[in-house]
Amino acid sequence: MDPSLELLKELTEAPGAPGAEGPVRELMRKYLNTLVDEVMQDGLGSIVGKKVGDPSGPKVMVMGHMDEVAFLITQITPDGFLRFETLGGWWEQVMLAQRVRIVTRKGELIGVVGSKPPHILPKEERDRVVRKKDMFIDIGAGSREEALEFGVRPGDPAVPVCPFTVMSGGKFVMGKAIDNRSGCAAVVDMLRRLKEADHPNVVFAGATVQEEVGLRGAQTVAQWIQPDVFLAVDVGIAGDTPGIGNHEALGKCGKGPLILLYDATLVPNGKLRDLVIDTAEELGIPYQFDAMAGGGTDAGRAHLAGKGVPSIVIGFPTRYIHSHAALLHREDYDQAVRLLTEVVRRLDRRTVDELTR
């Protein structure tokens, strides 16, 4: 397995619910320590590596986010079942009968989101979506006391279970938390490329916390660093599977990185958008546009920091996000890393000053 796949495997398989990103943060710290001049952390837990190219150049921030859609245990029933709240946007139909990993003080436990067998479902119930509030997690405990003995307590996070898998043919990878450990991995791979290349700026690169519950880490980290430019690295919705119309999702897997034109939180800086497009065309990097009426990324919060920060999102179309298993095309990932690296190398002081004129 090559270094990028090893990186993706390690990051996606680590647990990192919103507010409990510690295992992912320590992996990011391990990689950043070998690639940057200084590693820093803010009060919420976002991690940033500082790499100095030109000390008098602009501050360019490139960030993925560490957290994944997950669950928070809120109650243990007298019979030992776990009630939970969702962390991030879940659709009920992808949740039932799925395995989860509960992270406790005593270690990790495997559970399953309970479901009724079809044999006992009347037709009207079979055709109705089970609501999240009616779901529970079964960890094989016979009582509340036994569940407590296992180490579970309210407030513990739970994450999906899905081993990282290279799909047949090698073009796609499957895993949990590709949203957005793939963005974290791309930041690391970008820094690997920059290690041997000049860049006319000071790069602040790393990963935020709590994106899935309100873009919170992006707010604190952008207020702290006060970057001159912000590049968010995140997934987009792939529109190449049955049932999704071309007007609903623009990206197609294997057709290149996504450049965001619009979402509910961000209209990107137009000159920065043009710079990204021009860079891709100059280097022959295939690219696609993305636009979403709903949703948002860290750029949506970071661009409001201080007096305003020119921002954009570069990412990759991904199938089945916000579920237990997502699919990412390796070529989209590699080309996005290349595009990020080359855009950063073009962000000198004059270019950045022109972005807001």
- Only one residue has tokens 């001159």, namely 228
- What's the Cα-to-Cα distance from 3 to each of 31, 155, 196, 312, rounded to whole Å? 12, 35, 17, 27
Side-chain-side CA neighbours of residue 103 (13 Å)? 18
Are 172 and 253 contacting, i.e. CB atoms less than 8 angstroms apart? yes
The Cα–Cα gap between 119 and 141 comes to 25
214 phi, psi to nearest 5 deg: 130, 20
List the structure tokens of 302: 């970071």
**Catalytic residue at 211?**
yes
The Cα–Cα gap between 301 and 119 comes to 48
**Burial (Cβ within 10 Å: 0-12, 13-18, ≥19) of residue 15:** buried
The Cα–Cα gap between 246 and 258 comes to 15
The Cα–Cα gap between 106 and 193 comes to 40
List the structure tokens of 179: 């949203």
Radius of gyration of the chain (CA): 21
The Cα–Cα gap between 222 and 236 comes to 22
Catalytic entry in 13, 21, 68, 211: 211
217, 208, 255, 215: which is closest to 236 by C-alpha? 255
Q: Which residues are identified as catalytic?
A: 211
